[in-house]
Amino acid sequence: MSREATETPAGLRDVAGLDLKPALEAVLMVVDEPATEEHLAKILERPKRQIADALRELADEYTVQGRGFELRFVANGWRFYTRAAYAPAVERFVLDGQQARLTQAALETLAVVAYRQPVSRSRVSAVRGVNCDGVMRTLLQRGLIEEAGTEPETGAILYRTTNYFLERMGLRGLDELPELAPFLPEAEAIEAETQEGVPSFDPDAPDDDAPGRRPATPGTDDEDDQTEL
């Protein structure tokens, strides 16, 4: 036996000889985010096509068997999820009534970012008509949005949704966001209202200590964020 073989852990030497479907199940049980077919193919030393076929077969088998979980392709990768029909049981066991939910203000702000990204905080505030600074910070801390460069004209920081957002929403990509056109006025009207509604404060100030930043006042989302989220 070669020196390389003796120094390599047995699990790494034998992975190519494992049954593929059980090996996939074992790996997917411990992933922290959806695993891509490319990564799984590399780890298990199999062709990508073989990995893709096995994953889809597993997903179909779980559905036919009526298992309490399902294997879903989300955010460019595969991961186990609780089947929707059994979500109440999981929520009762894990959350026990302590589920931390986003406030209505946070959900509305997240929707604006999702549909208008990349977008600055000032534009988000203009669309909603209130100061969204606190809510934007919360969404950043929770990993639902991230910085996406700066606006060339103003230098304001731009924001977009993250892969974690796609994962939590159960979306493969942004193209799966529901179509809003039937529920919205004409684009020209929206843009006009947006420009008119730009607040006088500077929502793109980098932090709470920035000069000129207006403190939260009753009825703003900043206050809602501090008390509800």
CA atoms of 27 and 126, how far apart (whole Å): 45
Three-state secondary-structure class, residue 139:
helix
- Predicted TM-score (pTM) of the model is 0.52
Q: What is the mean predicted confidence (pLDDT) over 185-196?
A: 50
Predicted local distance difference test score (pLDDT) of residue 170: 85
Asked if the model's pLDDT at residue 148 lies above 60, the reply is yes
Please name the fold of domain 14-95.
Arc Repressor Mutant, subunit A (1.10.10)
Length of the chain: 229
Three-state secondary-structure class, residue 225:
helix
The least confident of 44-53, 137-146, 154-163, 196-205 is: 196-205
Asked if the model's pLDDT at residue 40 lies above 60, the reply is yes
Please provide the CATH number assigned to the domain covering 104-228. 1.10.10.10
Distances, alpha carbon 106 to alpha carbons 93, 173, 197, 203, in Å:
26, 21, 19, 16
Same topology for domains 14-95 and 104-228, yes or no?
yes
Predicted local distance difference test score (pLDDT) of residue 87: 87
Q: What percent of the chain has pLDDT over 90?
A: 47
131 touches 221 (CB < 8 A):
yes
CA atoms of 109 and 71, how far apart (whole Å): 30
For the chain, give every domain's residue range: 14-95, 104-228
